[in-house]
Amino acid sequence: MSRLRLMAAAALLIAATGAQASSFVVTTDTLVRALDASSNATSKISSSFHDDKIVLAARDDAASFVASQGEIRGVHLEGAFAHIREIAPTLQASDAQLAQAILAI
């Protein structure tokens, strides 16, 4: 009788582990897709403005912005945001994405 209970417990443990693993895979896939979308937006921005003087002048401000999680907004960065949005009005990027793209240049 104890052997039957031991096998049943082992079967339940295996089933529970499989469910947790598939949940982990779904969560990981969702996070990877979200990061990929953000990365694609950032690379499109940074490749377009790699030689733009206004954008390059905002790198220090962008570093402060990212490090402070958006609390510090320098005048050069605000100018770069306005400049980027004027040149690329269809670009759908948040201030954080723009700042990260400026840093990636």
Give tens-digit pLDDT for 4-51: 676 666 666 666 665 554 555 555 565 556 555 555 555 555 556 777
- pTM across the whole model: 0.55
DSSP state of 69: T
Q: Domains of the chain: which residue ranges?
A: 2-104
Helices 59-67/75-87 angle, 10° precision? 110
Helix boundaries (H) for the chain = 2-48, 53-56, 59-67, 75-87, 95-104
CB 46 within 8 A of CB 105: yes
CA angle 99, 83, 66 (to 5 degrees): 10
For 67-97, what is each residue's pLDDT tens digit?
A: 999 999 999 999 999 999 998 889 888 999 9
